[in-house]
Amino acid sequence: MAAFSSWRVFEMDVFWALRAGREIVTTGSVPMTETWSYTVNGQPWLNTHWLTEVVAYLAYAVGGYAGLVVLRAALVALW
């Protein structure tokens, strides 16, 4: 199953998650206010996926796009 999951990462929110993960790692805190959206800028935001975003960003920082593919394959193999 892990080998079958080693295709191109194409989830729509992957780049948003990488950006959020980068912000969390560089600032050392989870953002609590929406600052990226035009329609809800400045509104309170509860980021419930912060750990996933940090792990995805770290995999990307270490291995680039291939790091994301390897991470997904490892998670499927672990599952």
Give the 3-state secondary structure of residue 71.
Answer: helix
DSSP category for residue 66: H
pLDDT at residue 5, rounded to an integer: 60
Residues of the chain with pLDDT under 70: 1-12
pLDDT at residue 4, rounded to an integer: 61
Residues 6+ apart with CB under 8 A from 70: 6, 59, 63
Report which residue type is found at 16: W
pLDDT at residue 61, rounded to an integer: 96
pLDDT at residue 30, rounded to an integer: 92
- Distance (Å, rounded) from C-alpha 31 to C-alpha 44? 9
pTM above 0.85, yes or no: no
